[in-house]
Amino acid sequence: MAVFSVFQTTFFLALLSLRTLQSEVLSEPLPWAPESLKVSINSTHQCLHLQWSVHNLAYHQELKMVFQIEISRIKTSNVIWVENYSTTVKGNQLLHWSWESQLPLECAKHFIRMRSAVDDATTPEQRFWSNWSSWEEVDVQNSLGHEPLFVFPKDKLVEEGSNVTICYVSRSQQNNISCYLEGVRMQGQQLDPNVSMFNLHNVAFIRETGTNIYCKVDRGDDIKGIVLFVSKILEEPKDFSCETRDFQTLSCTWDPGRDTGLLKQLPQSYTLFESFSGKKTLCKHKGWCNWQVAPESQEMYNFTLTAENYLRKRSVHILFNLTHRVHPMAPFNVLFKDVSVTNATMTWKVHSTGNYYTLLCQVELYGEGKVIQKHNVSVKVNGELVLSGLEPDTEYSAQVRCANANHFWKWSEWTRQNFTTVEAAPSEAPDVWRNVKSVQGYCVVTLFWKPLSRLQANGEILFYNIVVEDLDRPSGLQLLSVPAPANRTELTLDQRAYQIHVTANNSVGTSPASVLVVSGDPGDDAFRPGVRYNFRIYGISTEMVPYLLEKKTGYSQELAPSDNPRVVMSNLTSHSFTLSWKDYSTESQPSFIRGYHVYLKSKAGQCHPGSEKAVLSDDSVCCKYKIDDPKQKMFVVGNLQPESFYEFLVTPYSAVGEGPHGAFTKVTTPDEYSPMLIRIILPMIFCILLIMILCYLKSQWMKEKCYPDIPDPYKSSVLSLIKSKENPRLTIMNIKDCVPDTIEVVNKHEGTGKSPTEPEAAKPTYLYLLPAEESYSGPGPCICFENFTYNQAASDSASCGHVPVPTKAPSQLGLLTSSENLLTALEKNCMNSLEEIPAGESSLNYVSQVASPVSGDKSSLPTNPPQPELCSEYKMQMAIPLGLAAPSSSGSSSLSSITLLDEGEHYH
């Protein structure tokens, strides 16, 4: 067969080649060339339908051919589509092919032509094509009519997100036409002078009635438009499942998803197909469908659910075993039998699902609205369960549901039924107490009892039996029956001892008896009014051991408080005072004290918030403060007026009244300012006195601290040394060598050691130098004190001079490490005027001992210069002969003084 086919194809190819050659020569159509090409249009679907036949193909011939189809738009040279359509052609067969245009066919002319070739899949490049057919023109515009404006496509149906091409055709080139999508102008593309197209991308669903697109002639009243029906995308059905309840019908359900929004224009259908049986059904409903189970016991089902509309088709599949999709029907015929006091047998039936299926049934027992028991029972056909642990005479509700025990799928619905357990005899004795009174020689005994609770009664209590046993006469019994719901009865007895038995009875039986004894002496029962009684209630255990159950306190009759508390007043101010009655005992009162009333009388008669007006028995009006807490035994009476007269009373109150309104306590508030003055002035006076005493006692010390005496150099001990040496060549410093800014004569008195060379009148014994001018920025000048006794070359801060700035502290330290260096420094730096002194002559070098800002520790000397301190403390001074000057190892004052005398930092 294959050999024949190959031979036939080869033969045809050879023949086709030969005919091609001939056609070129003779201009005749090749055999099997397309002919009778007809083109029709479907405007709604924007489709071109082609129909043609094959030339010279014999009736019995069958040939695999390929047709090449070309489509041009507007003009033939503008080819927009080329497609090879392969098919097997039989003799005289009419061939069809369709093409959908994105552009509405009314918008432009279309041209179609085709040619054919024998389809040889092995050598496609060696195809011998027939001649092209002539162009077939499709021009829909000719049939549009004579209206001035058209818009296409009409009523097109698309899914949201699609791309749509719109066009308008105008009959007049003069018109200026604007097009709008839901009122928003669109920008188009001109195809020819009369036609423009608009590409809409990703169109959205706007409303169920479609999207309005319209075009208007700018200077005219003509409007044309289309409605574009945009559908939401058909969704795939969700949660598709099938189940059976009776093995006869499969019920399949699904969620169809959101609506497409175009149910009128785009109806959708749901189809159910079962592949094993090959059956198919069109579902009438949107979300569910019933399927008849095959009678031949088909177990496996493979369903395909197809949702479909004009634009889209969506399918989902499920494969399942029927027995695994059993949703049992709700159990029925739920009954209760053998209902007793505490048990009941529940029975029910289930719908038959085949004899070989076992159902698992769940039973829930409800008591007072809550689940109190849960049971699981395996059931074939009939279910049975004994419910135990029930309470007598109680209504219960039980419900049952079932599911496939082997392959659980779904529970059935619940089936519920109520039942009530039967009554039992009351389980507890009634709680009885008594009241005994003596009336005319008889004992009148009143018996009270509490109704039994539902759990104790075990049914409806019908009556109470009271048996009175005369203890003196064992044979004497009285029986009294009191119908329920009475809770008391009265007995009149002789003044003898009786034992009384009280029982409660329902329809089933009698409760245990509550027994009490009446002694016959009513005095036992007498309680005095206004006396507080404390009770301790004991229970007796089964081992006959008493144990305290409860403590009770009470009065047989409460009386009004008999006395008022003793009140202590404190914290009296001009506006308030405090009342307290802490020693008042509430427990010794003739009633339960519930609180206190504080009465306050005043001349003003006005009551402040927190109090209320009260009229006393003597018709006097006062303000009443109420204290609700009996434990609160203190009260602050506020909002008072200074220098005012008040009266107060504190009295307790109880349920039966308040204490006696005895005498009020009087109080007058003090002046408003005197306490304050006393508080302030007294401490002040005390403080001032203390300071004065201290000042007097320490006057000498204070004088030294605050106003020290200025040291007198003439009284210095150094003078004695100078005098001893009697150096007549004491150098007198020339005033011209210094550059003093200001000189102030502080003190001036005649010294004993005057220099003969110094003018007497102009020589101060002590000079105080004011600091250099502020404009002076350099190191401080060397300030010299000159008199007969000493020479000082130091920029002493204590003398209010500028401090020379030590630029190189380490080198300075180096200088200070040896006595020689120290001496050298002293010689070089301090004795500026001493250069004029001949060597070997003794002289005094006065070193000021001012408080140094640095400590004596050499290593911690500051690199920054100390700031001068004006009028700093002037310390004791000491005159040191140069020859005796030695480095001090520990004197900080010496170091600091020396530090001030840096090398090259002194000035003349």
Q: Is 608 left (phi over 0), alpha (psi -120 to 50) or beta?
A: beta
E strands within 496-644?
A: 498-506, 514-518, 532-540, 546-555, 568-570, 577-580, 593-602, 611-615, 621-627, 634-637
Is the CB of 147 or the CB of 712 nearer to another protein? 147
Between CA 428 and CA 218 the distance in angstroms is: 102
Indicate the pairing of strand 110-118 with strand 359-367. unpaired
Smallest separation (angstroms) from another protein to the CB of 44: 11
Binding residues (CB under 8 A) for another protein: these are: 151, 154-155, 180, 182-183, 206-212, 214, 216, 221, 223-227, 263-264
Smallest separation (angstroms) from another protein to the CB of 146: 15
Is the CB of 227 or the CB of 809 nearer to another protein? 227
Smallest separation (angstroms) from another protein to the CB of 263: 7
Smallest separation (angstroms) from another protein to the CB of 112: 27
Between CA 906 and CA 500 the distance in angstroms is: 128
Is the CB of 215 or the CB of 361 nearer to another protein? 215
Other beta carbons less than 10 A from residue 686's beta carbon: 10
Between CA 849 and CA 888 the distance in angstroms is: 13
3-state secondary structure of 505: strand
Is the CB of 156 or the CB of 245 nearer to another protein? 156
Smallest separation (angstroms) from another protein to the CB of 157: 11
Is the distance from CB of 42 to CB of 49 less than 8 angstroms? yes
* String of DSSP letters for 209-255: T-EEEEEEETTSS-EEEEEEEEEPPPPPPEEEEEEESSSSEEEEEEE
Smallest separation (angstroms) from another protein to the CB of 48: 21
What the block records as the tokens of 109 is: 């002319």
Between CA 567 and CA 649 the distance in angstroms is: 8
The candidate with the shortest Cα–Cα distance to 99, out of 63, 45, 138, 161, is 45
Indicate the pairing of strand 269-274 with strand 279-283. antiparallel
Smallest separation (angstroms) from another protein to the CB of 180: 6
Eight-class DSSP state of 830: I
Is the CB of 83 or the CB of 182 nearer to another protein? 182
Is the CB of 182 or the CB of 820 nearer to another protein? 182
Between CA 425 and CA 511 the distance in angstroms is: 6
What the block records as the tokens of 95 is: 């061939």
Smallest separation (angstroms) from another protein to the CB of 79: 32
Sequence-ordered list of residues with C-beta below 8 angstroms from that of 412, at least 6 positions apart, any chain = 327, 328, 329, 330, 331, 401, 402, 403
Is the CB of 157 or the CB of 772 nearer to another protein? 157
Smallest separation (angstroms) from another protein to the CB of 308: 21
Smallest separation (angstroms) from another protein to the CB of 262: 8
* String of DSSP letters for 607-633: --TTEEEEE-TTS-EEEEEEE--TT--
Is the CB of 211 or the CB of 564 nearer to another protein? 211
Is the CB of 211 or the CB of 789 nearer to another protein? 211
- Stated as kind and residue range, the H or E segment containing 606 is none
Is the CB of 46 or the CB of 893 nearer to another protein? 46
Smallest separation (angstroms) from another protein to the CB of 162: 18
Is the CB of 8 or the CB of 209 nearer to another protein? 209
Is the CB of 178 or the CB of 358 nearer to another protein? 178
Smallest separation (angstroms) from another protein to the CB of 208: 4
